Structure 1
Amino acid sequence: MFQSRKQMGESTPPLPLKFTRTSEAYAQELYSEVLDNEEIDAFLDEPTANGSRRKNWTAPHAPAPAEDLVRSLYKMLSSIVKRFAFSPKPGVQRKVVDTRKFEGSDEVNAEGYRNCPILVVRAAGPSFQFPASPERGAPSMERTETLGFTNMATYFSVKLDGVVGSEDEIMDEMENYARQVFRDQPNRIYVRSMFFTEKHARLVHFDRAGAQITPPIDIRQDPHTFVRLVAGLSSPDERLLGFDDSIQWNIVNGMKLGGSLTTTDSNGEARTFPIIGEIPTSRDSIHGRATTCWRVRDPESSEELVIKDSWRPEHFPPEHELLALVKGIPGVVDMISHESGRWETKDFRCTTTTGQYENRVSSRVALKPYGKPLVFFTTVLQVLSALRDAIAGHQQLVGDEIRILHRDISHNNILLGRDGAPAGQRGILIDLDMAFRSTDAQPWVISDANIGTRLFQSLCVLQSYAMAEKAAPRDYLDDLESFFYLLAFIFLAHTPNGGRIPREEEGPSIVWAWADRDPDAANTAKEALLGLGPTARLAMRLVESTWGPHCASLFDKYRNYVSDIYYQKLDFLSAADGDGDPFKYLHLRRDEQYLDVLSMLDQAISAIQASPSPELLPEAESTPVAPPPCSDNKNGPIARAFSSDANEPLLKPAVITSSSSEKVSPTPEIPTPCNPTPKLRRSARLQHVHLTKRELSPTNVIPIQGALLSTTALPTAH
């Protein structure tokens, strides 16, 4: 039986993948180290029942039905694999399989393609295992014929010339299968496959920078290239197949039972760690960071570590450089070591396409383990304390000494602290892949709606999509706004004991609208929450009825605060002269702004601790909300990796990485406030909003649900 995406609970695929076209020489030279022409000539000249292979492959073929073409290719491919992909190592096998005999393989998936390519090379060996049984959720070992993307070395698509579509259509089909190979083979670096007609073949390559395709190869006029490519794509050498061989699995009865990972330790020496857990992640997207994490144990100290692998754009700073700067900060992830000198996607690609795609660099860091992602909370106090400590950690990131702007606040990037964690470590901010560090030469960065997790992006970041180079600078206030959307996400899509509220209900329907691929649609949905209309009133009612009055008060205070800052930003932008940071006067109050937000959380935590039991619900098994299948992402959710009990997959919403070449950007610091700077004026628009709500004070100081802002105006940003 073939295991399909539908059976495995596959979600909607991401956006189409960009690809490049290689030179003709690329295919002719690829795998030249695997086979030389003499070996291929000897193979081609061997006699067969109908003459030599060379004669059969070079003879003109009349048009034939698709069935005959598949049958002919199956025999040709089988003979190549049998000869050149044989391994004397026990348990290592390669075999061409015609999937038409497998039940369910010819069914059409959501994208309109067969569940499985029509011809594949089934593999056994250190990186392959039987697919999971959909009924039992465990690897099926009923027969050796079991086939899935977990034990597929490569695949071949076959079509008659008369029905072949455009290059885009070819790539769409091949990507559909490559995405599933990456998903089910977590240490796969790249995937290569071939597309056949009765006259030509094309090699297709996928990696974390996108894809490339060769020009058509005449398999009869150039049989050497044809044989060499098939031999390379089915090689018993897993490094040639595109695997990271620093990860080795123990295969027992066709199943992966443990393994090992070799990396660089804190002394810079190579060490091998037993893998004690593979972190389930969503790998639906090919292009992007493709973050994958492994739980390992130090064999000497028995200490548990998390190894994080990812692919960063080459113009982004290495994450380990930023992690070194934040080491020891409470509420921020702590790095143990890192490994440099790993691969780049350009190493696997045609050299003539350099510059036509965004090169990505493989990164690996070893990190301390923490608790589960924030959405695995079990009590009100746990989630509020975790969010509070993560915000405090974020405050230190943007300090004048470190000057790091995170830019991807999300439910996956805040972890619960370990059991019994002290104040300051109850929530941990992780993942600096998207972060930028400010420099004197470039003290701030322009907002980009293609960076971050759509569900939690601020209004100014979402609006940057339509403004391009005229977009506002991105700053720590955008991240503080993202923290609010994360709080709202918790309040509206979860119960106080961590349970998930069904997505079709009122609360989740509000927050999932923020995850729309269209930034304008997401912006409109968030503006509705910050306004005075029915969405805001509904959200307030839902939070109070589900989470109680103290959480409702926190929600309303934070909501008003975010709205106030947003309208002040708009005022400063309208008055800006286009030179320098238009928000510099807002940034003078940075320490106060963090104090305001932390005070809101502290007040709510204290009130809940002092309240009777209704808001202190008993702990219950929580179910993580599966974010919407919005886009790339990269990157699977690394948050799962830091949990010592990370067995359930947690999907990640639209994490979108930029293809732009802009460099690092800032955000100043946040120590303990001493002498507060002068307060800022309120936006006339916001004054109208609060007048409507009858929240304005007749005095010069306006209480905003627990936070004080002044109507005294500083000089406008000219």
Structure 2
Amino acid sequence: MLHTSDHSEDRRPGAKSRAQSHSNHHKGMPGGSRCSTTTTTETYAHDLHRGLVEDSDVEMFLRETDAYDSGQTRWSIPSVPKTREELVGAMYGALQSILGRFIRSFEPGVERELRNTQDVPACQGSNDDGFRVCPVLVVRAAGPSFEIPKSLVSASQVSTRLGFSNMASYFSVKMESEIGSTKESVEEMSSYARRIFHAQPNRFHVRSLILTERHARLVHFDRGGSQITPPFDIHQHPATLIRLVAGLSSTNETMLGLDNSIQWTIVDGRKTEGTLTTTGPGGEPNTYPIVDQIVTNRDSIRGRATMCWRVRDPETLEEFVVKDSWRPDDRPPEYDLFELTKDIPGVAQMISHEAGRVEIRDMRCPSTVGQYLNRVSSRMTLRLYGKPLTSFTSTLQLLRAMRDALAAHQKLVGGDVRILHRDISHNNVLLGQEGAAEGERGVLIDLDIAFRATEGKPTVRVDHNLGTRIFQSMSVIGSDYLQQRSPAYDYLDDLESFLYLLAYIFLLYKPDGSRFSSKDEGPSIVQGWGDDDPERAYANKRKLFGVGHVAETALDLVEEHWGASCGSLFKRFSCWILHIRGSKSSLLYGRKATGAPNALDPLLSRRDEHYADVLRFFDEAIVAVEGESLAKTDVVMGDSLQPTSSPPAPAVDLTTTQGAHPRPNLLSLGPPPAVTQLRRSARIHKLRPTKGEEASPESSAPTPSALLTTAPSLRRSARIRKRRLEDDQESDVPPKAKRVKKSLRVNARSR
């Protein structure tokens, strides 16, 4: 029986867009004509494993086996099969004879077995891609990199248990008349290869064969895409078929495309203890026991395929994270960027790295070099931090982590470092270790697609194909429309991503870290931000700003579930971003726009001021939440504690200057000033343009000075009660008969 539950899809909002980003990476870049599938030369299939089986051994086998008719010089396969089942049976016999003769294992626990799944009931249906649940012929494997599927409760009858976690290779068998186009054939084979990559995390490449009664084609998959050979006649070239089948069924895991620096001990068919060998801090090889595999979103074949391992130093018992990924060879190595970020609080610290492991071009036909995006396997060892940001368990933990990550980001873009992250997301901000000091409570990771400004290349254009769609800034998403008129990426795009990260958490999660139902209003708002279509994603995301149903609903939801302090933070941060977007739009596309490359300099020169503003929003929100926590503690303690008089606390200056961000002392804060909260209709009226003014979200955005003095709003329920009371006092008309004028909707799109 074949078990397929070892493959799973990530259904979170925006998850698919990252995979889409990988698959479209080559677009809009030099070499944009590079293909996801390339075709090899005629001779490649014949030469690939020529040294694996000697000619004399091939000739002897063909003379002795019943699977080949030496007189007819053809395999014992019907030239015109009546049914596919007949062809599969004959092909199984031929391939089984090859494995029986040329595949031998001399190591305990290492096995290869050809299985025919034609009559297996679990394989009769279709998978999510619309193809057969599993290939018709499968090479089942046992050894240091394979295990029976995790869905099995018992390891009994291991030899009959199949899954993508113990599949060395596979063969598609079809009649010549049923073979479709090359694209269709590759799509079907990729459906299985993707599942093998997912279930076998140390896999470099996957190879398989498409077989008919006359021809065979070798299909190869790696992190650059796929390549396929032209069809060759299996009867005229029996030695080629023998060598390919022997290579695809080899007991040598390296030949199968597995990374043997990662190995497991197999007990009862299951992986138990594992080890990972890499370069240590002093350049020497170190072998670490594997503590855990850190799950990452890697469902796409083509792309970075990031995989992380939690390991432990056997001598010091200190734990680290080893990160494997595939970077484009025209992009600077991530470890070079981490060398520049040493000792920056709130940025992951690298222990060592391993360069030049393997490249895609080393695994492919030489004639296809340049037709695909070549990637290089990189490995780094990093210090271990906490879980992803979305694993928070309290409001304070979340706000403190985001605050420290923002402070780290300021240091990342400043001084001599000058690195733009370009992928701020829920997976790339980690919580600090338990008890971490201020500055380390949130940690930035993943500089895979980061850009470092240099004298030779001071800027890089925004690109909607890079990053995680759901967190991309409006300028980045808009590059799909603007193309070559798109502006350069700057730190403000990363700050805007921080806003979407905050909104993502506020609308999808509750303050205790649990999630809302996907059918709730918050998740429904966020879902549209990750649309694969940049234009739709842009339209959905712009609704978060200005005056409109989505913007008001989002704010109401944050205030209702997270409280007034978080509502104020969300409102101030989003209004600030709206103001920044308006300023950028005016400088780039307004009536006085010059079109000069440095058109944004008047705005970007205020970098320290911008970070001071955003950090202040978080600092004040943290102080407010801390105060709320103390107030709750006082209530719990009851009235038995008598208040004591104390002298008035001195006023605290919350302003900051040029990169300094002092945290206010909660105990020194005096009582907050009384603030009169305007009615909702009055607030909306203030945002409307006066007669003759052009209505736009940017023109309605408050100034930074106004943002810094905005008081926290009342919670939604309190505002509703207050508004009803005021309405009753101001009018003799019964509330149910009172007409409400619809608020003005303002178009929030700016391009």
Contact 1:309 1:363 in 2 (8 A): yes
Aligned residue in 2 for 1:158: 173
Aligned residue in 2 for 1:168: 183
Whether 2:640 is the aligned partner of 1:604: answer no
Whether 2:506 is the aligned partner of 1:491: answer yes
Contact 1:459 1:523 in 2 (8 A): yes
Whether 2:138 is the aligned partner of 1:120: answer yes
Deviations 1:674-717 (A, max 9, x none): 9xxxxxxx9x9999558997x869xxx85125489xxxxxxxxx
| Aligned residue identity for 1:155 | Y
Aligned residue in 1 for 2:714: none
1:308-387 counterparts in 2 under 5 A? 308-387=323-402
Q: Which of 530, 554, 566 lines up with 1:539 in the alignment?
A: 554
1:493-572 counterparts in 2 under 5 A? 493-572=508-587
- Cα distance in 2 for residues equivalent to 1:181 and 1:478: 37
Whether 2:64 is the aligned partner of 1:46: answer yes
Aligned residue in 1 for 2:92: 74
Contact 2:337 2:447 in 1 (8 A): yes
Contact 2:144 2:264 in 1 (8 A): yes
Deviations 1:494-545 (A, max 9, x none): 0000001111110001111100001111111111001211000000110000
Deviations 1:281-340 (A, max 9, x none): 333100000000111111111110110000000011000000010011001000000011
Deviation (angstroms), 1:143: 3.9
Aligned residue in 1 for 2:670: none
Deviations 1:353-394 (A, max 9, x none): 111000000000000000000000000000000000001001
Whether 2:721 is the aligned partner of 1:704: answer no
Aligned residue in 1 for 2:439: 424
Aligned residue in 1 for 2:238: 223
Contact 2:461 2:486 in 1 (8 A): yes
Secondary structure, in 3 states, of the residue corresponding to 1:260?
Answer: strand
Aligned residue in 2 for 1:619: none
Contact 2:209 2:219 in 1 (8 A): yes
Q: Which of 382, 385, 403 lines up with 1:388 in the alignment?
A: 403
Secondary structure, in 3 states, of the residue corresponding to 1:310?
Answer: strand
Residues 407/383 of structure 1: CA separation in 2 closer, same or farther (3 Å cut) = same
Q: Which of 9, 27, 32 lines up with 2:45 in the alignment?
A: 27
| Aligned residue identity for 1:562 | I
Which consecutive residues of structure 1, in runs of 5 or more, have no partner in the other structure? 617-669, 675-681, 709-718
Contact 2:67 2:97 in 1 (8 A): no
Whether 2:67 is the aligned partner of 1:64: answer no
Deviation (angstroms), 1:130: 0.4
Whether 2:180 is the aligned partner of 1:180: answer no
Residues 563/53 of structure 1: CA separation in 2 closer, same or farther (3 Å cut) = farther
- Cα distance in 2 for residues equivalent to 1:78 and 1:348: 27
Residues 59/169 of structure 1: CA separation in 2 closer, same or farther (3 Å cut) = closer
Residues 50/158 of structure 1: CA separation in 2 closer, same or farther (3 Å cut) = closer
Secondary structure, in 3 states, of the residue corresponding to 1:409?
Answer: coil
Aligned residue in 1 for 2:669: none
Secondary structure, in 3 states, of the residue corresponding to 1:175?
Answer: helix
CA RMSD of aligned residues (A): 2.5
Deviation (angstroms), 1:157: 0.8
Whether 2:588 is the aligned partner of 1:585: answer no
- Cα distance in 1 for residues equivalent to 2:702 and 2:660: 29
Secondary structure, in 3 states, of the residue corresponding to 2:123?
Answer: coil
Q: Which of 138, 150, 160 lines up with 1:132 in the alignment?
A: 150
- Cα distance in 1 for residues equivalent to 2:43 and 2:392: 56
Secondary structure, in 3 states, of the residue corresponding to 1:415?
Answer: strand
Contact 1:239 1:245 in 2 (8 A): yes
Contact 1:5 1:115 in 2 (8 A): no
| Aligned residue identity for 2:363 | F
Deviation (angstroms), 1:52: 4.6
- Cα distance in 2 for residues equivalent to 1:336 and 1:53: 64
Deviations 1:115-152 (A, max 9, x none): 10010100011100000227x6xx75454311000000
Contact 2:224 2:373 in 1 (8 A): yes
Residues 422/75 of structure 1: CA separation in 2 closer, same or farther (3 Å cut) = same
Which consecutive residues of structure 2, in runs of 5 or more, have no partner in the other structure? 24-34, 634-657, 663-686, 712-751
Whether 2:10 is the aligned partner of 1:4: answer no
- Cα distance in 2 for residues equivalent to 1:615 and 1:375: 25
Residues 345/363 of structure 1: CA separation in 2 closer, same or farther (3 Å cut) = same
| Aligned residue identity for 1:32 | R
Contact 2:6 2:165 in 1 (8 A): no
Q: Which of 199, 222, 234 lines up with 2:214 in the alignment?
A: 199
- Cα distance in 2 for residues equivalent to 1:615 and 1:45: 88
- Cα distance in 1 for residues equivalent to 2:705 and 2:394: 34
Aligned residue in 1 for 2:649: none
Deviation (angstroms), 1:474: 0.5
Deviation (angstroms), 1:51: 5.0
Deviations 1:546-582 (A, max 9, x none): 0000000000000000111111111111144444232
Percent identity at matched positions? 48
- Cα distance in 2 for residues equivalent to 1:330 and 1:49: 67
TM-score (norm 2): 0.81
Secondary structure, in 3 states, of the residue corresponding to 1:144?
Answer: helix
Aligned residue in 2 for 1:625: none
- Cα distance in 1 for residues equivalent to 2:77 and 2:157: 43
Contact 1:540 1:552 in 2 (8 A): yes
Higher relative contact order (CA 8 A, sep 6+): 1
Deviation (angstroms), 1:238: 0.1
- Cα distance in 2 for residues equivalent to 1:316 and 1:592: 32
Aligned residues between the structures: 640
Aligned residue in 2 for 1:111: 129
Deviation (angstroms), 1:430: 0.2
Deviation (angstroms), 1:426: 0.2
Secondary structure, in 3 states, of the residue corresponding to 1:611?
Answer: helix
Residues 379/34 of structure 1: CA separation in 2 closer, same or farther (3 Å cut) = same
- Cα distance in 2 for residues equivalent to 1:339 and 1:530: 45
Aligned residue in 1 for 2:457: 442
- Cα distance in 1 for residues equivalent to 2:363 and 2:219: 12
| Aligned residue identity for 2:50 | S
Please say which of residues 56-65 and 491-500 is displaced more in the overlay.
56-65
| Aligned residue identity for 1:301 | T
Whether 2:103 is the aligned partner of 1:85: answer yes
TM-score (norm 1): 0.85
Q: Kindly report structure 1 stretches of 4+ aligned residues shifted beyond 3 Å.
A: 5-17, 49-56, 139-143, 575-579, 612-616, 670-674, 684-693, 705-708
Deviations 1:159-194 (A, max 9, x none): 111121111110110000000000000000000001
Aligned residue in 1 for 2:421: 406
Structure of larger gyration radius: 2
Contact 2:138 2:169 in 1 (8 A): yes
